[in-house]
Amino acid sequence: MAETYRIGLDVGGTKVLGAIFDGERNIVHRLKKKSTEQGAEAENVEQVIINVVEELLDSSGIPLDQITAIASSIPGVIDQNAGVVLFTPNLPWRNYDIGSAMLRRFGVPFFIGNDVNLGVLGEYRFGAARGFRNVVGLFVGTGVGGGLILNGELYTGNKFKAGELGHMTLDPEGPLCGCGKRGCLEAFSSKQGMSAYIRKQVSRGRGSLLAKAVQEGVFKSKKLKKALLAGDAVAMEAVDRACHYLAVATGSLINIFSPDLVLYGGGVVEAVGDTFLEKILREVDDYCMAEIRSTVELKNASLGDDSVLYGALALMEEQA
């Protein structure tokens, strides 16, 4: 009998990662990155995702008839049962039936989950959150996503809409967020929020190594790391501001959920090492009750780029 495989996809605001898992949960082939350009049409983003799956199959030599399921993260609000993307701030999808499109193209079961829900689920099942029963996750990338494990189960709320922690309002008169509201955590602490801050400072005549990178979009995480290592003052201010608001948000989340663990992940956190965590730890105690904080651990995710991919695997296993 031929071996069977599953495909996991991590769809972000600017990229798609794909991986093929064997029956032992090992990644046997991966496709590192494909760009999802900001401003692209909905069908174009769909085609990028289809292309990633096709290239995974072509380059691995694994035939489609040995693939038993495909699961993908989506950075936004979804109807998980219907496979429909209801809203995503950083991609051009509104009430978009990606599930039917993928089923038509590949003919195998296709599942979707919110990106950070899957990232936290992946870390809970296979990574840094193993052994913790109550976990709050904050993942920093193009946006800021959240995920919750409560009493040992992924909490998705009514119609799978829970966990949008990046859209908690921290300043109602703050910067405009991609969701259309003002002062969200994402507007301060995401790559988009930091890039907007850097653009504003550059427009005032200040220099930054990231000036060109943020001219029309968002910087790449590796470029942020280089700027920080070079002592770029504007980049450091953007990170300090991002971490301040992450600390404020973390304090509130600690007070609300009293979790065992607050977990930080995403491309930015991974790229800059412990910088974000160290800055958050310096401030977080100012924004939560000491009696609750004393039983909460804060740490970084351990699976890197693979957090969401392993969450997609966990989703497929749960649906099997």
pLDDT number for residue 45: 81
pLDDT number for residue 203: 97
pLDDT number for residue 75: 85
Q: Quote the CA–CA distance of 249 and 64 in Å, as a whole number.
A: 44
pLDDT number for residue 262: 98
pLDDT number for residue 35: 65
207 and 193 Cβ atoms separated by less than 8 Å: no
Q: Which domains does the chain show, CATH number per domain?
A: 5-118+306-319 (3.30.420.40), 131-300 (3.30.420.40)
267 and 143 Cβ atoms separated by less than 8 Å: no
Reduce the secondary structure of the chain to three states and give it as a string.
Answer: CCCCEEEEEEECCCEEEEEEECCCCCEEEEEEEEECCCCCCHHHHHHHHHHHHHHHHHHHCCCHHHEEEEEEEECCEEECCCCEEEECCCCCCEEECHHHHHHHHHCCCEEEEEHHHHHHHHHHHHCCCCCCCCEEEEEECCCEEEEEEECCEECCCHHHCCCCHHHCECCCCCCECCCCCECEHHHHHCHHHHHHHHHHHHHCCCCCCCCCCCCCCCCCHHHHHHHHHCCCHHHHHHHHHHHHHHHHHHHHHHHHHCCCEEEEECHHHHHCCCHHHHHHHHHHHHHCCHHHHCCCEEEECCCCCHHHHHHHHHHHHHHC
Mean per-residue pLDDT pooled into runs of 10, the chain (320 residues):
92 87 96 65 80 95 97 91 86 88 96 94 97 97 94 94 95 95 98 97 97 92 96 98 98 98 95 95 98 98 94 93
Q: Which tens digits make up the pLDDT trace of 197-215?
A: 999 999 999 999 999 999 9
78 and 86 Cβ atoms separated by less than 8 Å: yes
